[in-house]
Amino acid sequence: MKPVRVEPAGPIRGTLHLPGDKSVSHRSLILNALAGGPARVEGLLRSGDVHATAGALRACGVSIRDEGAAVLVTPPPGGLAEPSDVVDCGNSGTSMRLLTGMFAARSGHAVLTGDASLRQRPMGRVVRPLKQMGAQIDGRAGADRAPLSIRGAELTRAQHDLTVSSAQVKSALLLAGLRSGVSVREPRQSRDHTERMLRSMGASLREDSEGWLVLSPGAQLEPLDVVVPRDLSSAAFWLVAGSIIPGSDLLLPGVGINPSRAGVLDALAAMGADIQVLDRREQGAEPVADLRVRHAQLVGAQIRGELALRCLDELPVLAVAAAFAVGETVIADAAELRVKESDRISRVVEGLRELEVSVEEQPDGMNIEGGRPRGPAHVDAEGDHRLAMAFAVAGAAASGGVSLTNADSVESSYPTFFEDLRRIRGGE
Ligand code: S3P
């Protein structure tokens, strides 16, 4: 793909209907594939990552029929079959980690692989606790790297006191523990979409006073029709673009605002953004709202601790916001960013430096001195969709613009991002 040039232009205005939430999309497919009958999923994200999960389930005999507005998920009558081929998770960490948990507790043999970025990401964090439950998993680097080979087994109940807060690990363990039961505790609560959906499907899942999430054995999941909220992580790019481009006024209807991952709203509020959260409502198990963003002069803020965890995926674009703010922004307690689709700390620091922003790299984050990012900058977004979109937003506001190579990585989570950017710049 040719480099994409994003030049500064006028305000962004109008209404944007964003694609479906990626986390909820994966879970709607996987959990319904394990339930007793067909379910309708409306507003499913159609993107590379979700496609990888759908492909894995289809290889196990699940019918996933696209009916336009909705997708019909029908598990095979006798339960999931052994996958008929190697399962390619592409760029998707969520697919690989959740499916590892799922396959560990089912009969048959599964081999999971992914693209070059995914094959570099740590899998030991999910493999180790699964092995404590009796899972049989092998892979590169002592089963810390994919390809992973999983031989399904009857697992035994275990208690996992995790050292890293990760919704992917927690969800993998809950999927593995559907029959045996399982208890999981994490240092700080990560996104809880799996818990909400499991409860809606009839699983007995409670949280005790010491923070243990306790799943009772023998869960029989009922099929669940889902209307997928629009993705707050995708909204984040527009919330920042609308904040830093003068004259902007944008409405984003029906966006998921689950508090366990809505830290971007709190971080932007602390930075002085003008964002209204309108018509809060429940959509199935998830809270949603319409978000309106208008331009405002941002100021520096501290993004650390549980706030950093609740906006981890949005930190690259929040770093871009910080570059346009008055004063210093500190991003800390976010070492996990180094093991995402790329090392997002060093790649964001590099990109900001290209824009002549003064930024200091830290092991667990960065300190950014806001000002007037200039450029022109060049950013290679290979293997990292959020890097491509964060720096496209920077290019729409920085005087010299940004040219992006490998920007087609947006396919992972938001394939229509550049189309949407063109449209709202025209004020449609
Ligand atoms: C996700 C969990 C998070 C997040 C990822 C999606 C999920 O990852 O960064 O984009 O859907 O469970 P970790 O579990 O590694 O924190």
Q: Confidence band (pLDDT; 50, 70, 90) for 36?
A: confident
Write down the pLDDT at residue 14: 95
Q: What does the angle CA 222 – CA 148 – CA 128 come to, to the nearest 5 degrees?
A: 75
Give the end of a domain, one of 156, 189, 215.
Answer: 215
Residues 108 and 153 placed together within one structural domain of the fold: yes
Q: Is residue 258 included in any domain, yes or no?
A: yes
Atom of ligand 1 nearest to the CA of 98: 12
Q: Is residue 412 included in any domain, yes or no?
A: yes
Q: What element of type H or E holds 282?
A: strand 274-283
DSSP code per residue over 306-359:
HHHHHTGGGHHHHHHHHHTSBSEEEE-S-GGGGGSSS-HHHHHHHHHHHTT-EE
Residues 124 and 87 placed together within one structural domain of the fold: yes
Neighbours of 372 (CB within 10 A): 12
**CA 256 to CA 249: how far, in whole Å?**
20
Instruction: Give percent of the chain with pLDDT exceeding 70.
Output: 99
Instruction: Answer yes or no: is pLDDT of 301 > 90.
Output: yes
Ligand 1 site, residue 166, Cβ cutoff 6 A: yes
How deeply is 266 buried, as exposed, middle or buried, from its count of CB atoms within 10 A (0-12, 13-18, 19+)? middle
Q: Confidence band (pLDDT; 50, 70, 90) for 353?
A: very high
Q: Is residue 337 included in any domain, yes or no?
A: yes
Q: Is residue 224 included in any domain, yes or no?
A: no
Residues 404 and 292 placed together within one structural domain of the fold: yes
Residues 171 and 290 placed together within one structural domain of the fold: no
Ligand 1 site, residue 313, Cβ cutoff 6 A: yes
Instruction: Answer yes or no: is pLDDT of 428 > 60.
Output: no
Write down the pLDDT at residue 9: 82
Is residue 132 a contact partner of residue 162, using CB atoms and an 8 Å limit? no
Ligand 1 site, residue 171, Cβ cutoff 6 A: yes
Mean pLDDT calculated for residue range 203-214: 97
**CA 310 to CA 318: how far, in whole Å?**
12
Q: What's the CATH number where 65 sits?
A: 3.65.10.10
Ligand 1 centroid to Cα of residue 275, in Å, is 25
Query: By residue range, what is the domain housing residue 34?
Result: 22-215
Instruction: Answer yes or no: is pLDDT of 78 > 70.
Output: yes
Instruction: Answer yes or no: is pLDDT of 426 > 90.
Output: no
Q: Confidence band (pLDDT; 50, 70, 90) for 425?
A: confident
Q: Is residue 223 included in any domain, yes or no?
A: no
Residues 190 and 266 placed together within one structural domain of the fold: no
Residue nearest to atom 11 of ligand 1 (CA): 23
Residues 245 and 183 placed together within one structural domain of the fold: no
Mean pLDDT calculated for residue range 195-205: 98
Mean pLDDT calculated for residue range 198-224: 97
String of b and e for 280-306 (b: at least 16 CB within 10 Å)?
Answer: eeebbbbbbbbbbbbbbebbbbebeee
Q: Is residue 45 included in any domain, yes or no?
A: yes
- Residue partners of 121: CB distance under 8 A and separation at least 6: 93, 96, 145, 146, 339, 340, 341
121-171 residue pLDDT tens: 999 999 999 999 999 999 999 999 999 999 999 999 999 999 999 999 999
Number of separate domains in the chain: 2
Residues 210 and 311 placed together within one structural domain of the fold: no
Q: Is residue 222 included in any domain, yes or no?
A: no
Ligand 1 centroid to Cα of residue 24, in Å, is 11
Pairing relationship of beta strands 328-331 and 365-369 according to DSSP bridges: antiparallel
Residues 190 and 258 placed together within one structural domain of the fold: no
Write down the pLDDT at residue 274: 98
Give the end of a domain, one of 188, 215, 242.
Answer: 215
Ligand 1 site, residue 233, Cβ cutoff 6 A: no
More confident residue, 69 or 58: 58
pTM greater than 0.75 (yes/no): yes
381-411 residue pLDDT tens: 988 999 999 999 999 999 999 999 999 999 9
Write down the pLDDT at residue 383: 85
Residues 9 and 115 placed together within one structural domain of the fold: no
Give the end of a domain, one of 215, 248, 275.
Answer: 215
Q: Which residue has the tokens 């980690």?
A: 97
Atom of ligand 1 nearest to the CA of 171: 12
Residues 274 and 208 placed together within one structural domain of the fold: no
Residue nearest to atom 13 of ligand 1 (CA): 166
Q: Which of 94, 95, 184 to mutate to test the pocket of ligand 1 (most atoms within 8 A of CB)?
A: 94
Ligand 1 site, residue 175, Cβ cutoff 6 A: no
Ligand 1 centroid to Cα of residue 312, in Å, is 9
For the chain, what is the mean pLDDT?
A: 97
Mean pLDDT calculated for residue range 344-350: 98
Is residue 398 a contact partner of residue 375, using CB atoms and an 8 Å limit? yes
Residues 247 and 188 placed together within one structural domain of the fold: no
Residues 140 and 276 placed together within one structural domain of the fold: no
Whether 420 is a known active-site residue: answer: no
Write down the pLDDT at residue 427: 54
Q: Which of 312, 343, 389 to mutate to test the pocket of ligand 1 (most atoms within 8 A of CB)?
A: 312
Ligand 1 centroid to Cα of residue 388, in Å, is 18
Q: Is residue 410 included in any domain, yes or no?
A: yes
Nearest CA to 43 out of 276, 175, 228 is that of 228
Q: Write down the catalytic residue from 21, 88, 192, 313.
A: 313
Residue nearest to atom 15 of ligand 1 (CA): 166
Ligand 1 centroid to Cα of residue 426, in Å, is 33
Ligand 1 centroid to Cα of residue 208, in Å, is 24
**DSSP class of 47:** S
